[in-house]
Amino acid sequence: MNIIRKTAIDLAYIFLPSLYKRRFYKKLYGLTLDNVKTRNVEFEFLLLSRFLQKDSIFFDIGVNKGSYLYQANQFIPEENIYGFEPHPVLYKKIKHLFPNAQVFNLALSDVQGVLKFKVPYIGKRESTGRGTLNINYKEPEETSCKIFDVQVDTLDNFIEEHKVEKLDFLKIDVEGAELNVIKGGRNSLLKFKPVMLVEVEERHHNNLIWNIIQPILELGYKVFYLDRETIELKPFTQETPLRQDISEMNNKEEYINNFIFLP
């Protein structure tokens, strides 16, 4: 990237965040059934238009770069969006880009206090999208990592303290710690029964998906996945063939790791 272009982007980030967002999230702008395949983004972004109403409350646990916040903001006001991101650099950026959203430099789990948070390096690059509270897990391509302390809360405690009166859609992407989030939010999930989009990968648990998700199903949910051909929800069962070959992780059409839970 040449110096003039980089300077222009940096200035847009500071003074024209709406313009910067348009460029940063360009693959999501005008996302449709027709272009989702060619843009190589998660097909599940399309679900937000189906489940979010104008007054919906959206929680994003594991914001990372904010793509789901941006997509949700196409359908609901920023004020109705809550984001949780433990990585301090990512948190600062998201807070700047979404100034009216409820964004917190916080991890959610089943305990309160301070825990260790690990961010792996793949080659020489920090892989922020694979940051996790499960510090003992090592990515197959991991060359090194950094570990630091993060503030942790439970979903139940957060909702009580912040007097959140409803929760319509909950997205969880926490690299293997998803069941801890569920455990720490059990009361809220039973009370509000939000639609949930949860990333679950066998590699994080050394178990089959069907066995991993049982605690969620026991809360009164049915589980689905998004068919890449029809873009329709299909029931996920013990017999459903599933592609989670780690070599296909970047193939959005083949690698299924997002599951939709409907009450």
Which pLDDT tens digit goes with each residue over 18-39? 899 999 999 999 999 889 989 9
CATH number, domain at 44? Answer: 3.40.50.150
Q: Which two tokens stand for residue 141?
A: 């391509």
55 and 4 both lie in a single domain: no
Model confidence, pTM: 0.93
pLDDT band at 5 (very low <50, low <70, confident <90, very high): confident
Mean pLDDT (whole number) for 46-53: 96
Other CB atoms within a 10 A radius of the CB of residue 164 amount to 16
Packing angle, helices 17-24 and 88-97, rounded to 10? 120
Mean pLDDT (whole number) for 53-67: 97
Contact 209, 239 (CB under 8 A): no
- For the chain, what is the domain count? 2
Query: 22: domain range?
Result: 1-30
Cα angle 224-253-174, degrees, rounded to a multiple of 5: 60
26 and 38 both lie in a single domain: no
> What is the overall mean pLDDT for the chain?
93
pLDDT band at 8 (very low <50, low <70, confident <90, very high): confident
3-state secondary structure of 74: coil
Contact 50, 74 (CB under 8 A): no
